[in-house]
Amino acid sequence: MASFNGTSHNPIDDELDFSDIEAKYRVDFDDGFDSVIVVDGVPVIDRSKLDKLLAKISKEFSRRGAVIKPDNIFVPWDDNAGKTKGFIFVDFGNPDAAAFAAGAMNGHPFDAKHTFHINRFTDIERYASIDETYVEPTVEEYRPKEHLRAWLADSQGRDQYVTYRGDDVEIHWHGKPSQCEVAYAKKNWTELYASWSPLGTYFATLFRQGVRLWGGPSWEPQHRFAHPLVKLIDFSPCENYLVTWSHDPISVPANLPQGPEFFSPEDEGNNIAVWDIKSGQLLRTFPTTTDENEDPAMKKQMQWPALKWSSDDKFVARVTPGQHISVYELPTMGLHDKKSLKIEGVVDFEWCPHGEKDKEDAEKGAKPEKTEKGAKKRENMLAYWTPEVANQPARVTLISFPSRTVLRQKNLFNVTECKLHWQNQGDFLCVKVDRHTKTKKSIFCNLEIFRVREKDYPVEVVELKDTVTDFSWEPKGERFAIVSSNDPNLGNPGPGITIKTDIGFYQLDRAKNDFKLLRTLTSRTSNTIRWSPRGRHVVLATVGSSTKSELEFWDLDFSTEERREGQNVKEEWGSGIQQLGSADHYGVTDVEWDPSGRYLATSASAWRHTLENGYAIWDFRGQELEKHILDRFKQFIWRPRPRSLLTKDQQRQIRKNLREYSRAFDEEDAAEESNVSAELIAHRKRLLDEWNAWRARCKRDIAEEKRSRGQKLNGEHHEEEKEEIEEWIDEVIEQIEEVVE
């Protein structure tokens, strides 16, 4: 069988072993016998009836649409018996017609005694050549896998980050200056971009052929998901599932290997695929939802992630705008309760995230005897909103799942747009409602805050006169920050236009149980809020502007000596807010905290512009630790960390004894500092010696060459030529002649 031997000279192929994928997608060429079928079950006859039989067979075939002529039928002849052998070959001239005939006529009852059984000629050939002897399948030897979370056991407690520049992907360790090093580097590791899984276990890279996951200390390939031309990926929160999307609809070539890891013909035409990460199996595929009645010119950007996961990985849901939300159960990926949630006009929804408390409860829930009061397992919740349609007010609804009971509903008026923001512990839900005035000329904003953990889900409204462009909850906190603006240029971006903004901080006032303004920072240009993952610190950045690129580092609990949970420190409202520093990273496009909340990384990606690409790392006070300006720099991502394994008590204990720990660390730092400088001095000494040796060699060479030409050396006659010229300038200012008597 002729086959395409895929040896392409793409450098990527040299780096990575794709031979298995190549074999899978190998193109098979015709070998000429594809157009021939073998018909079994033909009556055994002698020569006299042959013509009649062939005419009858041709007629039967033609009646089913597979037109053949008696000439194209070959009848094998048993010479001894003088009869036919009971099967015939039919040549259709092309494989498609043969395939059609095989499908149409297989099992066709020719007469009472005879039924046709049709096989392709090539198939018979293939099955005939199968080796009859049974070969024991070799049991693959057990190879222990590397620990996928090995990086967490780093003795120095360092974090990792990945950089993608040009074609190079590098994974770095980040710690104290001396501990920063490249952990792993690989050229052409990805063709589009790279991504971490949400808990940092896997590293995903995208290729034309699909997604690959890597992990472990030596970055071995872990899993592979063959989704050709994949563009977007999304992990489920617990890293059990992966969603991939490609702009090109799935097509299944004829000889694609079959199996649970591959697309089957039913998946054809779909764009989204859901995979089980651990087994590598395909669970289900979906088409991209498109509104048929939507104007193609007004086509909105596709929402990504298209499938939203509940935070325990039990459900995944997708919205069909205006019609329904479909919730699927994992791991079967079947529609939950066999029906979608029909919601007229639904625009968007969000799952409630599970807080640390919920997760602890879930763990306790496994041992029911320990269930305490209040530890009742919370159901999944989801919030959605519907716009104003035909005299019906816009509405935000909170429902629990899987019981599908409506927990709270709130009607809203004059709504143009809603955005749902859950606090990451699932304590609060803020619905940012953009409202228009009656004339629809100006837009203002309401924040409807649902206190989800309290009885009856009380809602509080914060009214604002300006447009809110960004909203962000403090992680694990009771504060949020907003960026608002009343700049007339808002909404019509142009070159050189920087929108003036105000930043507001709000906090839950426990006494009154409502959210109160802590402080407003006016006339800024910041448009991005980045809370530290541990709360308290926040960075305000001006991103995507060609003229401004400020970073402001703020501490919201500056004056509090020690922050103790549950204790209300009596102090003036908002007095703890303090700016720690400000900095500037020209052309910054991305701002990201490291998982520990100690460092901030800013990067200027070549995907957005080509001026001063590179990245910088700052500490939480805004001190620059390192800055690299690198051409063609594309991506910077910190490796996320999973939830801490320490219990609350253990954490408290550590906080208490912080002073003792820090003494040990200080000693370590001091020892290291002297180490580093010694190393640097040695390095310089080496460079210096190399240079001096080379210069000495050079000078000897020149002297020799000049001497051989009979020239005098520069140095020899230089001294004598030097002469000093002194100029005396006499200036006669006035000359007076006096006659002395």
Residues that bind another protein (CB under 8 A): 495, 546-547, 586, 611-612, 614, 629, 631, 684, 687-688, 691-692, 694-696, 698-699, 701-702, 705-706, 709, 714
Q: What is the rounded CA–CA span in Å between residue 598 and residue 177?
A: 14
Residue with smaller CB distance to another protein, 495 or 566: 495
Residue with smaller CB distance to another protein, 79 or 726: 726
Q: Which residues make Cβ contacts (< 8 Å) with residue 544, sequence separation at least 6? A: 527, 589, 608
Q: What is the rounded CA–CA span in Å between residue 383 and residue 319?
A: 12
Where is 203: in which H helix or E strand?
A: strand 203-206
CB of 692 vs another protein, minimal distance in Å: 5
CB of 442 vs another protein, minimal distance in Å: 32
CB of 188 vs another protein, minimal distance in Å: 20
CB of 495 vs another protein, minimal distance in Å: 8
Q: What is the rounded CA–CA span in Å between residue 209 and residue 248?
A: 12
CB of 612 vs another protein, minimal distance in Å: 6
CB of 549 vs another protein, minimal distance in Å: 8
CB of 592 vs another protein, minimal distance in Å: 22
Q: What is the rounded CA–CA span in Å between residue 617 and residue 592?
A: 10
Residue with smaller CB distance to another protein, 185 or 696: 696
CB of 178 vs another protein, minimal distance in Å: 18
CB of 509 vs another protein, minimal distance in Å: 41
Residue with smaller CB distance to another protein, 47 or 686: 686
Residue with smaller CB distance to another protein, 59 or 706: 706
CB of 629 vs another protein, minimal distance in Å: 4
Residue with smaller CB distance to another protein, 247 or 699: 699
Residue with smaller CB distance to another protein, 593 or 633: 633
The beta strands (E) that lie in 247-393 are given as: 272-276, 282-286, 308-309, 315-320, 324-329, 334-335, 341-342, 348-351, 380-386
CB of 167 vs another protein, minimal distance in Å: 15
CB of 709 vs another protein, minimal distance in Å: 8
Tokens of 493: 């971006």
Q: What is the rounded CA–CA span in Å between residue 427 and residue 432?
A: 16
Tokens of 503: 């930043």
Q: What is the rounded CA–CA span in Å between residue 716 and residue 405?
A: 101
Residue with smaller CB distance to another protein, 611 or 658: 611
Whether the Cβ atoms of residue 425 and residue 356 lie closer than 8 Å to each other? yes
Closest CA to 152 of 646, 530, 621: 646
Q: What is the rounded CA–CA span in Å between residue 312 and residue 236?
A: 9
Residue with smaller CB distance to another protein, 654 or 713: 713
Residue with smaller CB distance to another protein, 8 or 714: 714
Q: Which residue has the tokens 């033909």?
A: 42
Residue with smaller CB distance to another protein, 145 or 684: 684
Q: What is the rounded CA–CA span in Å between residue 319 and residue 386?
A: 12
CB burial of residue 449 (10 Å; 0-12, 13-18, 19+): buried
Q: Which amino acid belongs to residue 10? A: N
Cα dihedral sign for 417, 421, 426, 429?
Answer: negative
Q: Which residues make Cβ contacts (< 8 Å) with residue 552, sequence separation at least 6? A: 524, 526, 539, 540, 541, 579, 581, 582, 622
CB of 565 vs another protein, minimal distance in Å: 43
Closest CA to 467 of 439, 440, 436, 425: 436
Residue with smaller CB distance to another protein, 374 or 495: 495
Q: Strand order of the sheet with strand 194-196? A: 194-196, 203-206, 211-215, 220-225
Residue with smaller CB distance to another protein, 652 or 695: 695
Residue with smaller CB distance to another protein, 667 or 701: 701
Tokens of 565: 């949970």
CA distances in angstroms from 230 to 12, 245, 247, 272, listed in the order given: 17, 6, 7, 9
CB burial of residue 581 (10 Å; 0-12, 13-18, 19+): middle
CA distances in angstroms from 238 to 181, 196, 350, 474, listed in the order given: 29, 13, 17, 22
Residue with smaller CB distance to another protein, 439 or 708: 708
CB of 691 vs another protein, minimal distance in Å: 5
Number of H helices, E strands in the chain: 9, 43
Q: Phi/psi at 575 (nearest 5 deg)?
A: -80, -15
CB of 687 vs another protein, minimal distance in Å: 5
H-assigned helices in 322-454: 356-365
